[in-house]
Amino acid sequence: MPIKGVLFDFSGTLFRIESVRSWLAAACAARGVSVDEADFDRYARELEAACALPGGPGPQRVPEALAEDWASRDESAHRHRAAYTGLARQVALPDPGLYDALYERHRTPEAWCPYPDAAEVLGALAGSGVRIGVVSNIGWDLRPVFRAHGLDAFVDAYVLSFEHGIQKPDAQLFHTACTLLGQHPTDVVMVGDDRHADAGAAALGCEVRFVEHAPLAERPYGLRELGLVNEVA
């Protein structure tokens, strides 16, 4: 069957979050906080160890006080903020305002960069008449990130977990996306990097293809190599 629609995950699939050091430096600048190099290095290491950067690796063990918010973090904006600022608060930063500043920084377009082949693949699919959706487990509106990086014009529908109160792998999110695209799930491919969350689309009959959640330089052609463009050309 020809591909009529493609659903894409956001973080780790189409976009990559900045490094912990860049994230911390931007938050410090926003707050007017100056720290010496040794302290900055220590804060960055500790934030990375706490897995406090949204879009980065998740923690292997979640503090008990955060367990409830973490488990449902992508179902609401409040829980998402509470979970990630809670992880960051495990690190004793020099300014208490930095925890919120860090959270706000990760929601900005400047904190994200598209993978090198994202525009090429999205543009080719859209140009061939394929309907495109973004299905993301997230606690905030990512549409401004797509607009700022010039990718919004390729996207026909966004289905964001916090706007629906459910998170992947719940098949309802994928069903909603297929409905918005006007396509039957068996004509739609889901592309993601999480073999648990994104695999939920298979319950509807979608084909699921995976890319590696890797740094930009290590995955320049991961989307292109899925062969989607060749199948609709």
CATH number of the domain encompassing residue 10: 3.40.50.1000
- Asked which of 65, 90, 110 is the last residue of a domain, the reply is 110
Residues 6+ apart with CB under 8 A from 91: 43, 46, 47, 50, 52
169-228 pLDDT tens trace = 999 999 999 999 999 999 999 999 999 999 999 999 999 999 999 999 999 999 999 999
* One domain for residues 122 and 221: yes
* One domain for residues 175 and 121: yes
* One domain for residues 21 and 103: yes
* One domain for residues 71 and 167: no
The number of distinct structural domains making up the chain is 2
- Asked which of 77, 110, 143 is the last residue of a domain, the reply is 110
* One domain for residues 223 and 175: yes
* One domain for residues 45 and 148: no
- Asked which of 59, 75, 110 is the last residue of a domain, the reply is 110
DSSP per residue over the chain, as a string? Answer: ----EEEE-SBTTTEEEPPHHHHHHHHHHHHT----HHHHHHHHHHHHHTT-STTSPPPSS--GGGHHHHHTGGG-HHHHHHHHHHHHTTS--S-TTHHHHHHHHHTSGGGEEE-TTHHHHHHHHHHTT-EEEEEE--SS--HHHHHHTT-GGG-SEEEEHHHHT--TT-HHHHHHHHHHHT--GGGEEEEES-TTTGGGGGGGT-EEEE-----GGG-TTTTGGG-HHHHH-
58-94 pLDDT tens trace = 998 999 999 999 999 999 999 999 999 999 999 999 9
* One domain for residues 62 and 130: no
* One domain for residues 104 and 145: no
Query: Domain of 217?
Result: 5-16+111-232
* One domain for residues 39 and 82: yes
pLDDT at residue 232, rounded to an integer = 82
* One domain for residues 9 and 23: no
* One domain for residues 99 and 130: no
Cis peptide upstream of residue 94 (ω within 30 degrees of 0): no
Measured distance CA(104)–CA(28) in Å, rounded? 12
Query: Taking 80 as the threshold, does the pLDDT of residue 233 lie above it?
Result: no
95-122 pLDDT tens trace = 999 999 999 999 999 999 999 999 999 9
Give the global pTM. Answer: 0.96
- What is the mean pLDDT of the segment spanning 135-157? 98
* One domain for residues 53 and 124: no
Report residue 175 as tokens.
């069903």
